[in-house]
Structure 1
Amino acid sequence: MKLKMSENSLFAILLRSPWWISMAIVVVITLLSFALLPKPYVAFGVMGGLPFLVIGILAARKQWHTPSPARVTEALTRAGAMSWRDFSALIEQAFLKQGYAVTRLNNPAADFQLVKGGRATLVSCKRWKAATHGIEALRDLVAAKEAQEAQQCSYLSLGPVSDTARRFAKAQGVALVFGVDLARLLLQK
């Protein structure tokens, strides 16, 4: 079972923040525990920093694998200059490196079907260069997902989708892959 965390919870905010902020909180909690608590209770005070330590480690791990802003810009600029044939081949190779079985689809709503661990994911990326990404393409992708009985679907684009489309994607469980996430996919080694 996958637990969902509110986007505005303290831990969600810390996961998106630089890792050292969580580690600084751990240090402050530890110092305050030693300074303010009686000696027998210091260990309990220090344990209060444990969740922040875990969040700091998770944030550091995530940030360690995140490409620099310059590499993100370079990868997205390069992808924007590619033809569909080159871009689709690059995306196909990226998913193969992640261990997916990749099937190209002749479907206007979805370009690839990925299968890994018995779970099918439909991927739409043909409109990766579009200036605006609205709800229509996402509706078509969700309909294709249901028609093919896939468990998940992803929509790849160079630019972000509209707010309406973002809300629709969240409600329908469509993974939006753009910006840093798309660059990370394109820059896999």
Structure 2
Amino acid sequence: MKFKMAKNSLFAVLLRSPWWISMLLVLAFGLVSFALLPKAYVPFGLLGTMPFLVIGLIAASRQWDLPSTAKVNDMLAQATAMPWREFADALDAAYRAKGYTVTRLNGKAADLQLLKDGQTTLVAAKRWKAANHGVEALRDLAAAKEAQSAAACVYISIGGVTDTAEQFAKAQGITLVADVALAQLLLQAAK
């Protein structure tokens, strides 16, 4: 069973925030417990910090190997400056580093075909620099996924997609790779 948390709940926001923010809350609540509660109740006040401590530890484990903001911004600037062939080569190298067999496609909907463990994934990346990423490119990718009986598909962009496109991608099982996730993918190839 998978636990689902509301997108804007306090704990969801803290999971997306730097880990040290949760730890500051632990410290603040701990100090308030010592300052305001009678000695007999201080342990109970400290128990109230446990959810924040757990969230801080989870956030720290998720953020441990993440590149710095400067590295992410630098990689995104490099990706924006790349011509298509160089960008496709970088994606090719990144997916090969993750253990995929990569085949370049010349189709309208998908640009790369990834094979790993008998599963096919289609990747659309040619519009990575476009200012607007709407539903039409995602529809083409979803149709190609169905036509080729692919297990998954990925849509790559520097910026995000429209809200409508994001909803469509979620409904069709299309993984959106943009911004930080794209920088992380490209940085893996550089390792």
Same fold (TM over 0.5): yes
Q: Does 1:143 align with 2:143?
A: yes
Check 1:174–1:69 CA distance in 2 against 1; reply closer, same or farther (3 A cut).
Answer: same
Tell me how far 1:124 sits from its aligned partner: 0.8
Which range is displaced more, 7-16 or 18-27? 18-27
AA in 1 matched with 2:14: L
Check 1:30–1:115 CA distance in 2 against 1; reply closer, same or farther (3 A cut).
Answer: farther
AA in 2 matched with 1:49: T
> Structure 2: which 5+ residue stretches go unaligned?
none
Alpha-carbon separation, structure 2, partners of 1:166 and 1:8: 17
Residues 9-47 of structure 1 show CA distances to partners (whole Å, capped at 9, x for unaligned) of: 2211001112112112223444455563664x7555544
Q: Does 1:56 align with 2:56?
A: yes
Normalising by structure 1, we get a TM-score of 0.83
Normalising by structure 2, we get a TM-score of 0.83
Tell me how far 1:158 sits from its aligned partner: 1.6
AA in 2 matched with 1:113: Q
1:105 alignment partner in structure 2: 105
Please give the secondary structure, in 1, of the residue aligned with 2:155. Answer: strand
CA RMSD of aligned residues (A): 2.4
Alpha-carbon separation, structure 2, partners of 1:60 and 1:9: 19
Tell me how far 1:6 sits from its aligned partner: 2.0
1:181 alignment partner in structure 2: 181
Which range is displaced more, 173-182 or 99-108? 99-108
Please give the secondary structure, in 1, of the residue aligned with 2:103. Answer: strand
1:20 alignment partner in structure 2: 20
Alpha-carbon separation, structure 2, partners of 1:11 and 1:99: 34
> Structure 1: which 5+ residue stretches go unaligned?
none
Whether the aligned pair in 2 keeps the contact of 1:66 and 1:180 (CA below 8 Å) is no
Check 1:28–1:136 CA distance in 2 against 1; reply closer, same or farther (3 A cut).
Answer: same
Q: State how 1:72-83 maps to structure 2 within 5 Å.
A: 72-83=72-83
Instruction: Name the count of aligned residue pairs.
Output: 188
AA in 1 matched with 2:102: V
Alpha-carbon separation, structure 2, partners of 1:182 and 1:160: 11
Whether the aligned pair in 2 keeps the contact of 1:37 and 1:45 (CA below 8 Å) is no
Alpha-carbon separation, structure 2, partners of 1:172 and 1:103: 23
